[in-house]
Structure 1
Amino acid sequence: MTKQFHDTVLGAEALDQLFRKARSYNGWLPKDVSDDQIRSIYELLKMAPTSANMQPGRFVWVKSDEAKQKLAACVSEGNEAKVLAAPVTVIIGYDIDFHEELPWLFPHTDAKSWFEGDEKGREQGAFRNSSLQGAYLMLAARAVGLDCGPMSGFDNAAVDKAFFGDNPRHKSNFICSIGYGDRTTIFDRSPRPDFGKFNTIA
């Protein structure tokens, strides 16, 4: 009998690559990340679930020296070297007016009308779902053999002006460097809580 899809469990090696042995990196090996690899990350992350299939995430892949310098000027002092050394750092942003795309993204009902006239609600939804998309992005990067270094130490307003200045409806959420991590730049893994610490099955 053919095993049902939902009964399939990833092997230990895949789970290690995505979760158990994956780390957040502070430094990078001198190896390039290709445009094809960047595209492969997006092609995976876009398949993951969001509310009403909204796609609020707007991604800027900072790869050129000029763009790295521009981004480095917007981050905290401790993150400047990380941005400059990484093969690519992606700005995970979101579009407050994501609902304009819903007629074709969620065509079986009038989902656009759910969000019209409620900018505060749209911004909350865009932030929440772009955060999900950013997490999917990191898992996708790990799945294709790359490492990640997510960061929140930056000036959002400065990043928005520098990279989303032509569309003020786009806002930055967080940034994440991607490449081949240098294991000499990480500490031992910090503690993780047991299930009983923060979980309740009701």
Structure 2
Amino acid sequence: MDLQELLDNILKGSKYLGTFTLADMLMFASSRHLHALAVAKEENRQFYLAFLNGEPEGAIYIDTEGALFGDNAVVYIREGRQYVLCDVKQEIIDALAMGCRIFEKGHIRKNITYSVPEIGKKSKGIGVVSVAVLREKNPQNGVRVSIRKDGKIVGSDVTTGNGEVSFRVMYGDYTCLVQDRSQVVTHFTITFDESHTAHILDL
């Protein structure tokens, strides 16, 4: 099964929410904190947008030459098309977005500043949190790790040979999403402050 078939099968097995312009879809998804997948099709081109908790987190563009992912794809996600939006389970969107993450959300929302969120009045500190991914005490190299706060992905990276990644974020509680080589996504909750700067995640 190729990528387009996979995406279309996800949509076929999901609840249809409506057909929208891009602007209306962004507002609709955000207001309802949706986990959803959208598609627009033009001749031999397909445009997919994945929403996590109402935020556009992943993009895929497919044409006869192949596929583009993430920031390379999102430049094709524009107004002037009708997007079909379907409700999709969070774990499916989590796994899908791992491979097509949007980091430059300004391409979609020109007038919205996307930054690391404020994390409460007590969370004034900022620094680097490191995460080590182990399995049976062995460091896991090449594993995708994303860090999420209030439903928003604020960092994503792949572990190095020692199984570690690091992110510059504000103090607070975060969810770490770890996708192993078999594409299984595991959730961990971590706290980052001046006394908790390093965490071990054991798969």
Shorter-chain-normalised TM-score: which range? under 0.3
Computing the radius of gyration from Cα coordinates, the structure with the larger value is 1
- For normalisation by structure 2, the TM-score amounts to 0.26
Greater fraction of residues in strand: 2
Larger RCO: 1 or 2 (CA < 8 Å, sep 6+): 1
